[in-house]
Structure 1
């Protein structure tokens, strides 16, 4: 396979790094939007049409799944599912993306597998959400509301006693209430941890210090390197295993009492901030693991035949 589809609508810095990493292995990364792919279920067709590819590639690298209407998003995920059914290596595959882009399902899987994560409530009922918010905030506990689908800290809001309801930002939460207790990592010294995992191994980790309680790099967080071992790394590895994923970024926070919690698992993680503080070429590690996977698949198919 000399040409590799990289699904993204905005290659940017990450696309450039991936293109260089593929080129270092004699491959050409071709940026394609999932919006431009389609199913063609007529006789003689492979089932999925990828622009610029007459035949299905051995593998595709998923760098982005664009948003849209429910039906549009389902179609784009169906393209990933169909490619995997057709024997194409999909990295990360559609199921992994579905499990992690949906914060509710991520929280469920973490809870189901005993991975420490904050107590979580997800509901559609305004009445239930209102009663829950009142109960928690009147007891002196702060809550955080997040969009079920979202990234980089956008649309995240802290709720406390006296916060008006309905919640401003409802255009972000879209009628679904994903609520967790606010985890205080140190008032005025806010920080959390991002652990980057590839093929069940930690390849880099960092501490993110925020100028406020949201620590994402996209929100102005400052990054410092973190040893890729110890309790934070072990917890991140357990989270990756719980959602069954090829590669991911795991967000971990430690509260004032020293307890660790997994906040999120990201199946399409950014790594620009992390790359600034680690020596490992993250894009090259990703590309090498991707190429290893379909080389291994080819070997297995040859052995079977």
Structure 2
């Protein structure tokens, strides 16, 4: 079995600090994971960087789980940087590992429930509405025929988003039902949201607010030359101090999802009303860090380890 591990087996080393599993995209981890690992280790934690795909359910282990680097035992905490893409069966398996860790008393950031709610945009939108948080008018349906009927009944432009996706990938605008993508491009599920920007807009911006442990950690304006304003897509990050309304909306979104930390995306509609767009349970923060005075990885590590130490083992 492929079992990428970035440090010595923790139980062989008999560590005195908390034992942490850091789940990443691949065995080495990205820029974010490396910074998190360094910050956790500076606080005395012993960190194994590995992947969820390398884990196993195993009845020969006392814990029922085989997490690389833990010799059949459980970590004290798990921080999830990535679940990784895969088949439905693979994703279900990896989320099952996270569910099992939580049920075993391991503190998981973010746990599988929060990840599932964030990854599925339809569920997140439903929970926002249920919590009374303002969101753009949205309809999500199966089949192109039902999506066609909805767009044909409303002359306004819509934004079409993949149900599962991030960083602006796969997002498109439709002026009418004839611009709907084919079913195979969206898994035959159509997430349709009113396009909120003015038709004559030449500057496009929205806000990313980063939340950890019930407080605003940092924030930025994302300003782009096109209506898709993700930094990953070329938008410029600009330092920003969120107003009270933005802060309350971002914090409310995190509570509605049940996340420990998250990146929350906000936008103003054509009338200037603040709206909640999306929430990300595994947010990137490289662009935000470039304009923030806070050390985001260091603060996340401190917040996470504080909850691990308090959690029953």
Alignment of 1:1-305 (within 5 A): 1-10=17-26, 11-42=29-60, 45-54=62-71, 55-136=73-154, 139=155, 141-161=156-176, 164-167=178-181, 170-184=183-197, 187-298=201-312
Per-residue deviation, 1:222: 0.3
The answer to whether the Cα contact below 8 Å between 2:267 and 2:277 also exists between their aligned partners in 1 is yes
The TM-score, its normalising length taken from structure 1, stands at 0.92
> Gapped runs of 5+ residues in structure 2?
1-16
The answer to whether the Cα contact below 8 Å between 1:146 and 1:177 also exists between their aligned partners in 2 is yes
Higher mean C-alpha displacement, 65-74 vs 228-237: 228-237
Per-residue deviation, 1:12: 1.7
> Gapped runs of 5+ residues in structure 1?
none
Per-residue deviation, 1:214: 0.3
The answer to whether the Cα contact below 8 Å between 2:52 and 2:94 also exists between their aligned partners in 1 is yes
Per-residue deviation, 1:165: 4.8
Provide the rounded CA distance (Å) in 2 between the counterparts of 1:143 and 1:262. 16
Provide the rounded CA distance (Å) in 1 between the counterparts of 2:51 and 2:202. 41
Per-residue deviation, 1:142: 0.3
Per-residue deviation, 1:156: 0.3
Higher mean C-alpha displacement, 171-180 vs 77-86: 171-180
For residues 163-197 of structure 1, the C-alpha deviation after alignment (integer angstroms, 9 at most, x for no partner) is 635525x5441211011000116711100000000
Structure 1 residue ranges, 4+ long, deviating more than 4 angstroms after superposition: none
For residues 68-113 of structure 1, the C-alpha deviation after alignment (integer angstroms, 9 at most, x for no partner) is 1111111100000000001111110000000101101000000111
Provide the rounded CA distance (Å) in 1 between the counterparts of 2:180 and 2:173. 14
| SS at 1:64 equivalent | coil
Provide the rounded CA distance (Å) in 1 between the counterparts of 2:192 and 2:47. 39
Per-residue deviation, 1:16: 1.8
Higher mean C-alpha displacement, 180-189 vs 233-242: 180-189
The TM-score, its normalising length taken from structure 2, stands at 0.90
Higher mean C-alpha displacement, 248-257 vs 225-234: 225-234
Provide the rounded CA distance (Å) in 2 between the counterparts of 1:295 and 1:215. 38
Provide the rounded CA distance (Å) in 2 between the counterparts of 1:166 and 1:232. 32
Per-residue deviation, 1:4: 1.8
Provide the rounded CA distance (Å) in 2 between the counterparts of 1:229 and 1:204. 12
| RMSD of aligned Cα (Å) | 1.6
Provide the rounded CA distance (Å) in 2 between the counterparts of 1:280 and 1:229. 18
| SS at 1:96 equivalent | helix
